[in-house]
Amino acid sequence: MLLWRGIFNIVVCNYVTYWHNSRAKNVAASEDRNYSSPVATTQRDKQFIRAALKEAEKAEGQTSPNPAVGAVLVIDNRIVAKGHHRGPGHEHAEIECLRNFDAPVPARATLYVTLEPCSTVGRTSPCTDAILKAGVRKVVVGAVDVNPRHSGKGIAQLQNAGVKVRNGILAEECARLNEAFNKWIVTRRPFVIAKCGMSLDGRLTRPSGEPRWITGAPARRHAHHLRARVDAILVGAETVRVDNPRLTVRDMRGPRQPWRVVLTRSGKLPRHARLFSDRMATRTLIYQGKPLATVLKNLGKRDVTSVLIEGGGEVLGQALDARLIDKVQLYLAPVLTGGPVIAFPGRGARNAMNALRLRRISYQQIGQSVCITAYPKVGPSE
Ligand code: AOF
Ligand code: ZN
């Protein structure tokens, strides 16, 4: 699995790099005569792709299994229309943007879009056709769509029809916005986030008789926001027995309730637990006696593009041992509990060389806790 994910990342990264390099030549060739200089063009492109990203973020976490995409139409350095994709079956960002403009598009207009326009019929018809039909002559793209159905084809189609295309503007930011979609659409496996609140000594619970929370309210609120962005939240049976969690999305914009997934070996689960008896009970799935990898594969088939593992330790340990984690979001509270309930037990790494190393690490203080987000390194050479 690790090897496969390594290959996936290398293929995608190399492909994107190759694409950017080959586009770089076209960028110079396709400069509009009116543009002052390549540096000014890039600055302006970044500025408007940033505006398109802001549009895309409006529906972040609500478009699954589609990506979040934003677009702006610019005439004479002014944004004249905006649009974003709202989810499956809804219009794509470019179409919404052009519809919002609602007038003939002059040849000097430029369409900025965070993701390469699609080129084949899906739930909606191809954006490339609509762009050409609208008379758009210049398109600036953030990231290539890694969806094999479109990847590179949309840009090629536009160029073949004489449209000037610049690509790879803020590509990393644009791709990061859809990190879950980008994995799922290529592998059909969900993007896995391991989340937990722990003591400084890596424990998940406090001594019995004390409040069960390790981290403070601000950190818990912060963590809660993650739920609104994923397609499924996964916990082990012991967490259901001990904590009786709701795993719902509360106090947030957008009504989407992620699947609630329970892993159990014995099948012995409290029937009256909230997950099985509240008004969201139909959003709970139970997997009995299945390895985590099999569960994830099955969830991927159900169009689950992202899974948040919320514990307990046993499931987190399994995910670590099987190298199924794509991102960690850990909250460390300034407390030392000691005791046996550790955050990632499992078999553990055989030696330091085999430990899961992290990269792109960010540290954020939230209340008295520190939130660490990071991504596993995919190969020994990184
Ligand atoms: C775009 N603009 O705003 C989005 C795109 O089933 P459909 O027709 O909605 O197509 C979904 C695919 O289109 C999706 O997997 C992704 O590759 C692309 N998404 N493309 O031009 C958009 N959301
Ligand atoms: Zn499209």
Identify the pLDDT of residue 249: 85
DSSP string, 43-96: HHHHHHHHHHHHHHHTTTTSSTTSPP-EEEEEETTEEEEEEE--STTSPPHHHH
Indicate if ligand 1 lies below 6 Å from the C-beta of 85: yes
Q: What pTM was computed for the model?
A: 0.86
Identify the pLDDT of residue 256: 80
Indicate if ligand 1 lies below 6 Å from the C-beta of 69: yes
Q: In Å, what is the CA distance from 340 to each residue of 37, 89, 201, 210, 318?
A: 63, 49, 11, 16, 17
Which residue from 145, 165, 181 has its CB within 8 A of the most atoms of ligand 1, so it is best to mutate? 145
Give CA–CA dist 34/41, Å, rounded: 10
Q: How far is the CA of 260 from the centre of ligand 1 (A)?
A: 26
Please state the rounded mean pLDDT for residues 340-358.
Answer: 91
Give, rounded to a whole angstrom, the gap between the first and last alpha carbons of the chain.
Answer: 18
Residue 270 sits at φ, ψ, to 5 deg, of -70, 120
Per-residue pLDDT reduced to its tens digit, 192-225:
999 999 999 999 875 555 556 788 788 888 888 8
311-330: string of b/e by CB count within 10 Å (b at 16+)? bbbbbbbbbbbbbbbbbbbb
Give CA–CA dist 38/2, Å, rounded: 40
Could you tell me the two tokens for 301? 């088939």
The amino acid at residue 227 is R
- Sign of the Cα torsion 32, 101, 104, 89 reads positive
Identify the pLDDT of residue 4: 44
Task: Find out whether 70 and 50 touch, Cβ atoms under 8 Å.
Answer: no
Give CA–CA dist 28/106, Å, rounded: 23
Look at ligand 1, atom 14, and give the residue with the nearest C-alpha. Answer: 66
Question: Residue 16: helix, strand or coil by DSSP?
Answer: helix
Q: How far is the CA of 89 from the centre of ligand 1 (A)?
A: 9
Q: In Å, what is the CA distance from 338 to each residue of 201, 216, 318, 360, 369?
A: 7, 18, 22, 29, 18
pLDDT surpassing 90 at residue 18: no
Look at ligand 1, atom 10, and give the residue with the nearest C-alpha. Answer: 122
Per-residue pLDDT reduced to its tens digit, 110-164:
999 999 999 988 888 899 999 999 999 999 999 999 999 999 999 999 999 999 9
Question: Residue 14: helix, strand or coil by DSSP?
Answer: helix
Q: How far is the CA of 231 from the centre of ligand 1 (A)?
A: 18
Give CA–CA dist 317/314, Å, rounded: 5
Look at ligand 1, atom 18, and give the residue with the nearest C-alpha. Answer: 118
Q: Which sequence positions are flagged as catalytic?
A: 94
pLDDT surpassing 80 at residue 368: yes
Per-residue pLDDT reduced to its tens digit, 55-88:
999 999 899 999 999 999 999 999 999 999 999 9
Identify the pLDDT of residue 372: 97
Identify the pLDDT of residue 381: 41
Give CA–CA dist 135/220, Å, rounded: 49
Please state the rounded mean pLDDT for residues 235-253.
Answer: 85
Give CA–CA dist 308/230, Å, rounded: 7
The half-sphere exposure of 272 on its side-chain side, counting CA atoms within 13 A, is 0
